A and B are shown apart, each in its own frame.
Chain A
Amino acid sequence: MDPILLARIQFGANISFHILFPTITIALGWALVFFKLRYRATQDLKWMDVYHFWVKIFALSFALGVVSGITMSFQFGTNWPGFMERVGNVAGPLLAYEVLTAFFLEAVFLGIMLFGFRKVPGWVHTLATVLVAGATTLSAFWILVLNSWMHTPTGFEIRNGVVHATNWMEIIFNPSMPYRLTHMLLASGLTTAFLIAGLSAYRWLRNDRTPAVLAALRFGVAVAAILIPLQILAGDMHGLNTLEHQPQKVAAMEGNWETGPAKPLILFAWPDEATRSNRFEIGIPYGASLILKHDPQGVVPGLNDFAGQHPPVAPVFFAFRIMIGVGLLMLAVSWIAAWWLWRRGDPHPWLARVLVGMTFSGWVATLAGWYVTEIGRQPWLVSGVLRTSEAVSAVPAAMIAATLAAYLAVYALLLAAYVATLFLLARKGAKPQTIETGPTSHPTAFVPAE
């Protein structure tokens, strides 16, 4: 097999697995801060119950994020040596600042957050929780700065084929960064909101209907209902930004081959690169022109203007539709659920089942969105500066294939264990708390809060 494709699949598999966990921990960290602050404000113990349940899931997600992140720091070099050799002068400082300002902060204070509840004063513990949440967000900031720069590079010059930084403010605040960062942080918020709502609905369905479970359920649904319209707005603005800087990516997302006015919004089609046309196309007339140009006669760029320079169409086209589809589903479910909970207080069993079904919907949308933007950047690794094919390593294809198989096996196993453990914890949350602190049991990891 082609070593470039293998290296991309391997890196893509690793980064896809990795992103699942930060997507949860970035927002879940702030949710934990919220639970703690609610407790301090109300002295209602249900908020500590909510905190103690979700901090376990935070710890588990964080551990998976950390270990899969270590893999990333090695694979930059093993899979894409050309990346650091050519653009390392920009990428290097951004990655270094992520490690220095975020990784140590979150790692050290996570220890205090998880194990120090009885060892430090309450305010120090709350401060540790804030620092962990802040550090995860800071980490997202640095990595999204770098990723955005790869899409819309600014603030550099090329000397002897190597990129040199000339203006760090332009590099950090590159044109797509504010949109991408907002879009990703909201994605994290939505992923966590649906996770909290889903697992809480699961507990509610199993007759675990304590005030803590209901509080978490309401929290998840409310956050989802508030964030989803903001996300649709942010996504639209991000798309317009992409249209300005990477029109070929938008053309692939829309499945639009010929540049022209009055383009339809294609709901479904089978893009065929061989014939450079769509089969089975179903579309809404003027839709794409309206969305992208806010004018039914607006001229929308097509793929044929970028022949040989545009990304593979089908994966971008379908991933985009999956993301949008899940987003619309999130809108419908969260608003219906919010309305129902507001009017009735308790969820209907059917509503609870739908929420359980949506537990990991954020993962699907987030991954689909990342595939749109990353595959959409091809054939470039850094837009207009470095081609993916120029950065690939000389490691033999057979070796990449063998290690890829090993990684995939590990990731499949861990993903299954993670999801199973989440639902197991949800079932355990239902147990009366006194059983596990009984005098006969030896010290256990499941000693709940007093």
Chain B
Amino acid sequence: MFDDPAVWLPVAFAALMGLSILIYVILDGYDLGVGILFPIARPEEHDRMIASIGPFWDANETWLVLAVGLLLVAFPVAHGAILSALYLPVTVMLIALIMRGVAFEFRAKAEAGWKPTWDRIFFAGSLLTALSQGYMLGLYVMGLDRSLATVGFGLVTAVCVAAGYTLMGATWLIIKTDGDLQRRAVRRARVALVVTMIGFAVISVVTPLVSGRIFDRWFSLPEFLFLSPLPLMALVLATVVWVVLANQPHARDRFSWVPFAGSAGIFTLAFFGLAYSFYPFIVPDRLTIYAAASAPESLLIILVGALVVVPVIVAYSAFSYWVFRGKATELRYD
């Protein structure tokens, strides 16, 4: 099967695209989450929150461009079908992303009197981005049909994803801040963890009920035995995060990284669950990755480039995180 590039290239690109989406959700998840958490901070603390994500947000969003770019170049038919079906939520998300992205700069550079306004725009843009992405996830799971039930489910997933991003943002703040702000982040992380886990449970129950195909993929033997560790591990991770959160903030900051890492782990498990449910479909139950893929020779050119360049991207991204390690202090643009 793997001698034929027309067979393995679509799989490779689906994997590459999936990886980009997962990295995007975790990375932009925390900086969107910090935006959603803006109201828990006093105005003078906003600069510290921005300082904790300022050097990273731009690169984080580039993973979304890569994911959508890979969808566009590797599965062009699916790109058109999915994004046309999600036209309105995509537009809402794009405008929200624009407003929060420029707010980073305008809040610091525009007339001082406008700063609270740009802070509110930053919060609203972050929240709206998360909600629209969650809504799109819900509609995607429902096979991109629009009815009262699917829209309702989309609203549930919207809240779930927003809670998940809040969890990432709060656990990020636990690593990057201290004092009162860190304490408040711990409290929000607990609430967000509960809401996120409820949301994931709802999605896990509803998805197989909606699609007989997905039901069969999960609830047949021996697959069920291989798959059951997935939700179990998520529960274990959630418990670990919960227990560690109970002891945060720690005086010497011990284990302050655990809630973030654990939450990223939960997202990863949820992602693999979804990916397993839908594979090999890229438009649920309608279009497979094989039917949607571009010509093999063009995909091969991109794959070679990606295999060379992505490790380099990971390396210099790691360098950047190392440069900005430790607590975020005051915000300095120099």
Contact = CB atoms under 8 A, between A and B. Distances in A.
A70 B47 contact: no
Contacts of A448: 334
B224 to A, nearest CB: 37
Nearest to A94: B73
A22 B104 CA distance: 18
Nearest to B80: A81
Contact of A417 (B106, B306, B309): B106
B143 interface: no
Contacts of A71: 94, 98
A10 B44 CA distance: 39
Contacts of B109: 56, 60, 421, 424-425, 445
Interface residues of B, number: 71
A74 B295 contact: no
Contact of B87 (A90, A165, A399): A399
A92 B294 contact: yes
A178 interface: no
A114 B109 CA distance: 14
Given A92-B302, A414-B102, A417-B110, A99 B62 contact: yes
Given A96-B305, A116-B324, A424-B110, A76 B72 contact: yes
A442 to B, nearest CB: 5
Contact of A108 (B295, B305, B306, B316): B316
Interface string B296-312: 01100110011001100
A74 B69 contact: no
Interface in A349-408: 393-395, 399, 403, 406-407
A426 to B, nearest CB: 11
Contacts of B127: none
Interface stretch (B32-40, B52-60, B151-159, B274-282): B52-60
B269 interface: no
B98 A68 contact: yes
Contacts of A243: none
A209 interface: no
B32 to A, nearest CB: 13
Interface string B69-95: 111111011011111100110110011
Nearest to B53: A111
Contacts of B208: none
Interface stretch (B187-195, B236-244, B325-333): B325-333
**Interface on chain B toward A: helix, strand, loop, or mixed SS?**
helix
Interface in A70-97: 70-71, 73-74, 76-78, 81, 84-85, 88-93, 95-97
Nearest to A450: B334
Given A116-B324, A119-B323, A395-B87, A56 B333 contact: yes
Contacts of A66: 58, 61, 101
Given A59-B105, A100-B309, A443-B47, A421 B110 contact: yes
B68 to A, nearest CB: 5
B65 interface: yes
B69 A73 contact: yes
B99 interface: yes
A446 interface: yes
A108 B315 CA distance: 11
A100 B324 contact: no
Contacts of B104: 63
Contact of B70 (A62, A96, A417, A443): A96
10 contacts: A55-B334, A66-B58, A67-B102, A74-B83, A81-B77, A88-B298, A92-B298, A97-B302, A118-B332, A444-B47
Interface of B: 44, 47-48, 51, 54-56, 58-59, 61-62, 64-66, 68-74, 76-77, 79-84, 87-88, 90-91, 94-95, 97-99, 101-102, 104-111, 294-295, 297-298, 301-302, 305-306, 309-310, 313, 316-317, 319-320, 323-324, 329-334
Given A93-B298, A96-B69, 17 more contacts: A56-B109, A73-B72, A81-B80, A84-B76, A88-B73, A101-B309, A109-B316, A119-B323, A165-B297, A399-B88, A410-B99, A417-B106, A443-B332, A445-B47, A445-B109, A446-B108, A447-B332
